């Protein structure tokens, strides 16, 4: 039998044997077929890989790798504010980078770097497996792949980009030395603080050249590569600070494991000291503050992420009006800075700071902010900070909540003319915590209307009215008007919330008052109107900007009723009398906090809502210090420098524009405002609203007796110590060398002036055992200060 015949016989036998198998078994391929298929698939894969390797080129450097500016423009679209962005880069050679810093980066980012061929299949498979197991998205990229992504490609998370990255990484590894690849990676990576490349990072975090980095410093910069902004221990949250330190330890432990560091050297290494974040060059004057507000808006609104913004190349047209911005700066200089004398009064006239913001009520456009005197000298934006209590500027929110409720929790009506007991230190009834706030200079006002209590900023009245409205409703009203729900001091579990323990920023507060000015329709403040980026190839990125459609926060009748009352604050009898110099219809409220730690004026015309806050802060500890004694005044109330700055700014900002009147629709036929304390009526002691609004007439705007001291009126400091700050506030007495104001005279009562009689002895009412019916979950954050805050 020939060889051919024998093969044919074997094949026939195999076919016969297979036909004899059950049907299900015959459907399975033989080992020969399986092996052949696998070999064919492997050959196809190898061929495809080879073809792709050949056809995928190493491209030119991408736009992110070529430093670009971000250009910020004023609202006119042509006047430049500043240039910032990814231009903070200085390339260095690998020889300039200490070997231990190189080793730290390898330990942190790719421990197989010196052995792998540009990719790490084992690491990629491990990362994929961990992702499938639900351990979160895992990264398996080598340093070469990350360099390719930074320098040649984009940050897009797509399969196509990842595939190109793999092939280019293989080519780059073949074509370039490992030292060149590592240098390219370190020069192109982002380290936070606007620093691209390790040289810029060394200056940003340590103020020195990269060649001078220690082991500890290099390890920290290597740790930053995983999360540049989150791991900056000077600005990170406590949780992220712990993660940053853990990543630093992981890097050092890896250096020991790889033989780059001895255990003894590792044990002797301590966490390095970092510089505070420094202002970027070119952001001096007001530019840095404006850029900060614009960046904060872009990122917080979700228009663009921080990394993409920092990559540069964007042309950003803001809403800031250059003449108004300059007017704000001039107002602060003219009305405050010129009055300070740090040499003569170093204990009180240093470290005085101003926070300000100005918003168009109808549109929500931020037209000007004041974040500090010079970003190059003070790189902290006071216009955005949320750590100063706003005091009595919160009282209009109490009033709005009461008008919305219409009745107290036990059924009595609340209107702007409802009467309350204005006795100083009268205990609040029905509140969740005991509270008996004093009025400024401990004046007893007798039985007065809510309108008059706002005009004189009577603490005892609005502490009670807020509780009567329902603290949960007060908090909800504040949030609807525009106060962020995350700020401290808005806990309905604390009765003192009614007098302004909340700590919104100047911009937040301007937005809330803009809502009142816009008849209850709210538009969140916004500061960027256009954003675009042109690529080198001609393509243009234009992210979609949010719509700014007003949303009804509170009814027009309620908002207009509050405005009607706040107009009386800006009157000869009111604490905001200094704003009369504006010469236009205006409404507003002063505020001074406990221990005179801050002073405010928040006000508006139909065209513009503006807030001005004043405070002192220790530059080293950042602790708040009393304003008492500043510029030689006993105390600094909201009616002094804040109102003067507000008036000077608004005068310039509105110059040349037609005067507009308030178009108020209060939705009720209220009697003429009665600003007269009812001296013949014995206060009930409860402080709750009476069963009917007052009916006695009074003419708004009547000038009070010349002998009557107005709240928020400064007096020059005598030698005696001072009481708590104006727009009074309960709480501890300031320790500054300020002195009390002269005692209030006792004029004959008129419709405009309460009778500040000596405090009568009265039985303090007890709190009801049942809590208020309106409750709300308390915010996670407690008030920053004691439960008895400030205000007027």
Q: Tell me the pLDDT tens digit for each residue of 239-266.
A: 899 999 999 999 999 999 999 999 999 9
Confidence of residue 717 (pLDDT cuts 50, 70, 90): very low
For the chain, percent helix, then strand, then coil, each to nearest 5? 40, 10, 50
215: closest CA among 97, 113, 114, 111?
A: 97
Cα–Cα dist 255/218, whole Å = 12
User: In this predicted model, which residue has the larger pLDDT, 280 or 299?
Assistant: 299
705: closest CA among 740, 755, 639?
A: 755
Whether pLDDT at 410 is above 90: no
**Per-residue confidence (pLDDT) for residue 404, from 0 to 100:** 96
Cβ-proximal residues to 207 (8 Å cutoff; 6+ apart), any chain: 275
DSSP-derived letter for residue 118 is S
Rounded average pLDDT over 510-514? 98
HEC string of 310-377 equals: HCCCEEEEECCCHHHHHHHHHHHHHHCHHHCCCCCCCCCCCCEEEEEEEECCCCCEEEEEECCCCCCC
Cα–Cα dist 634/719, whole Å = 10
**Cβ(170)–Cβ(53) below 8 Å:** yes
Confidence of residue 389 (pLDDT cuts 50, 70, 90): very high
Confidence of residue 306 (pLDDT cuts 50, 70, 90): confident
User: In this predicted model, which residue has the larger pLDDT, 71 or 242?
Assistant: 242
245 exposure class (CB count in 10 Å sphere: 0-12, 13-18, 19+): middle
**Cβ(88)–Cβ(194) below 8 Å:** yes
Cα–Cα dist 513/390, whole Å = 13
**Per-residue confidence (pLDDT) for residue 413, from 0 to 100:** 92
Mean pLDDT, the chain, whole residue set: 79
**Per-residue confidence (pLDDT) for residue 511, from 0 to 100:** 97
Q: Which two tokens stand for residue 386?
A: 């949320």
Cα–Cα dist 559/111, whole Å = 63
HEC string of 626-654 equals: CCCCHHHECCCCCCCHHHHHHHHHHHHHC
Angle at 625 between CA 623 and CA 626, to 5 degrees: 155
Select which of 107, 188, 189, 392 is catalytic. Answer: 392
Confidence of residue 775 (pLDDT cuts 50, 70, 90): very low
Confidence of residue 747 (pLDDT cuts 50, 70, 90): very low
Q: Which two tokens stand for residue 619?
A: 């530059």
Cα–Cα dist 557/249, whole Å = 61
Helix (H) or strand (E) holding 573: none
Q: Which two tokens stand for residue 649?
A: 């700014």
Select which of 107, 109, 457, 527 is catalytic. Answer: 109
Lowest-confidence range among 143-147, 230-234, 327-331, 623-627? 143-147
Cα–Cα dist 526/529, whole Å = 8
Other Cβ atoms closer than 10 A to 14? 12
**Per-residue confidence (pLDDT) for residue 131, from 0 to 100:** 56
Name the maximum alpha-carbon separation found in the chain: 141
Cα–Cα dist 358/368, whole Å = 5
Confidence of residue 46 (pLDDT cuts 50, 70, 90): low
Whether pLDDT at 734 is above 90: no
**Per-residue confidence (pLDDT) for residue 392, from 0 to 100:** 96
Q: Which two tokens stand for residue 767?
A: 């709190």
**Per-residue confidence (pLDDT) for residue 4, from 0 to 100:** 76
Confidence of residue 756 (pLDDT cuts 50, 70, 90): very low
Q: Is-catalytic flag, 465?
A: no
Confidence of residue 286 (pLDDT cuts 50, 70, 90): very high
- Strand partners for 69: 85
189: closest CA among 223, 150, 149?
A: 150
**Cβ(225)–Cβ(189) below 8 Å:** yes
Confidence of residue 738 (pLDDT cuts 50, 70, 90): very low
Confidence of residue 698 (pLDDT cuts 50, 70, 90): very low
**Per-residue confidence (pLDDT) for residue 194, from 0 to 100:** 82
637: closest CA among 790, 462, 426?
A: 790
**Cβ(465)–Cβ(414) below 8 Å:** yes
Share of the chain above pLDDT 70, in %: 74
Q: Is-catalytic flag, 109?
A: yes
Structure-token match 């979609």, residue found: 544
**Per-residue confidence (pLDDT) for residue 454, from 0 to 100:** 97
Q: Which two tokens stand for residue 372?
A: 């500090």
Whether pLDDT at 727 is above 80: no
Rounded average pLDDT over 16-34? 72
């Amino acid at each position: 039998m020939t060889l051919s015949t024998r093969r044919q016989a074997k094949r026939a036998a195999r076919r016969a044997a297979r036909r004899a198998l059950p049907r299900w078994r015959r459907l399975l391929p033989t080992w020969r077929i399986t092996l052949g298929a696998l070999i064919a698939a492997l050959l196809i894969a190898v061929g495809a890989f080879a073809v792709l390797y050949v056809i995928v080129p190493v491209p030119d450097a991408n736009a992110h790798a070529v430093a670009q500016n971000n250009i910020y423009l004023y609202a006119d679209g042509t006047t430049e504010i500043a240039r910032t962005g990814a231009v903070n880069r200085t390339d260095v050679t690998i020889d300039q980078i200490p070997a231990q810093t190189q080793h730290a980066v390898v330990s942190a980012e790719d421990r197989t770097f010196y052995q792998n061929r540009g990719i790490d299949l084992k690491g990629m498979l491990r990362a994929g497996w961990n992702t499938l197991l639900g351990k979160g998205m895992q990264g398996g990229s080598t340093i070469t792949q990350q360099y390719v992504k930074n320098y040649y490609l984009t940050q897009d998370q797509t399969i196509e980009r990842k595939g190109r990255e793999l092939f280019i990484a293989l080519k780059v590894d073949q074509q370039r030395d490992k030292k060149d690849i590592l240098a390219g990676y370190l020069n192109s990576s982002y380290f936070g603080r606007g620093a691209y490349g390790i040289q810029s990072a060394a200056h940003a975090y340590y103020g020195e050249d990269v060649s001078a980095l220690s082991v500890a410093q290099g390890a920290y910069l290597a740790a930053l590569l995983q999360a540049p902004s989150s791991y900056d221990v000077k600005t990170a949250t406590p949780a992220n600070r712990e993660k940053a330190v853990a990543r630093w330890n992981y890097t050092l432990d890896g250096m020991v494991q790889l033989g780059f560091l001895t255990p003894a050297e590792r044990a002797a290494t301590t966490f390095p000291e970092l510089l505070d974040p420094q202002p970027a060059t070119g952001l001096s004057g007001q530019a840095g503050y404006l850029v900060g507000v614009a960046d904060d808006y872009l990122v917080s609104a979700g228009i663009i992420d921080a990394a993409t913004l920092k990559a540069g190349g964007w042309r950003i047209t803001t809403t800031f009006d250059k003449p108004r911005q300059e007017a704000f700066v001039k107002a602060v200089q003219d009305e405050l800075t010129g009055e300070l004398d740090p040499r003569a009064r170093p204990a009180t006239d240093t470290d005085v700071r101003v926070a300000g913001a100005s918003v168009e009520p109808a549109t929500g456009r931020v037209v000007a902010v004041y974040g500090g005197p010079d970003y190059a000298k003070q790189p902290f934006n006071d216009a955005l900070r949320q750590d100063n209590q706003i005091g009595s500027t919160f009282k209009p929110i109490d009033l709005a909540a009461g008008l919305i409720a219409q009745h107290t929790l036990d059924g009595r009506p609340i209107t702007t003319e409802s009467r309350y007991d204005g006795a100083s230190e009268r205990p609040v009834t029905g509140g969740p915590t005991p509270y008996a706030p004093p009025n400024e200079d401990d004046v007893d006002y007798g039985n007065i209307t809510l309108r008059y209590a706002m005009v004189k900023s009577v603490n005892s009245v609005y502490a009670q009215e807020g509780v009567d409205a329902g603290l949960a409703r007060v908090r909800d009203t504040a949030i609807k008007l525009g106060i962020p729900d995350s700020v401290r001091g808005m806990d309905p579990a604390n009765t003192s919330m009614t007098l302004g323990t909340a700590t919104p920023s100047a911009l937040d507060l301007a937005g809330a008052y803009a809502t009142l000015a816009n008849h209850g329709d709210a538009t969140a403040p916004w500061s960027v109107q256009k954003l675009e980026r042109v690529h080198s190839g001609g393509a243009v990125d234009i992210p979609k900007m949010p719509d700014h459609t007003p949303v009804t926060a509170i009814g027009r009748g309620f908002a207009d009723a509050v405005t009607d009352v706040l107009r009386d604050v800006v009157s000869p009898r009111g604490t905001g009398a200094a704003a009369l110099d504006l010469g236009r219809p205006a409404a507003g409220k002063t505020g001074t906090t406990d221990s005179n730690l801050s002073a405010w004026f928040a006000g508006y015309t139909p065209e513009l809502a503006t807030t001005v806050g004043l405070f002192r802060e220790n530059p080293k500890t950042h602790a708040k210090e009393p304003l008492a004694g500043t510029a030689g005044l006993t105390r600094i109330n909201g009616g002094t420098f804040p109102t003067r700055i507000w008036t000077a700014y608004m005068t310039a900002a509105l110059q040349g524009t037609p005067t507009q009147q308030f178009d108020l629709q209060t939705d009720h036929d209220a009697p003429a405002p009665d600003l007269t304390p009812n001296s013949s009526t014995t206060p009930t002691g409860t402080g709750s609203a009476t069963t009917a609004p007052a009916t006695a007439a009074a003419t708004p705007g009547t000038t009070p007796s010349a002998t009557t001291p107005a709240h928020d009126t400064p007096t020059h400091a005598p030698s005696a110590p001072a009481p708590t700050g104006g727009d009074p506030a309960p709480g501890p007495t300031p320790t500054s060398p300020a002195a009390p104001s002269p005692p209030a005279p006792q004029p004959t009562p008129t419709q405009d002036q309460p009778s500040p009689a000596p405090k009568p002895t009265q039985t303090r009412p007890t709190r009801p055992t049942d809590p208020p019916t309106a409750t709300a979950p308390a915010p996670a954050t407690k008030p920053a200060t004691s439960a008895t805050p400030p205000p007027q």
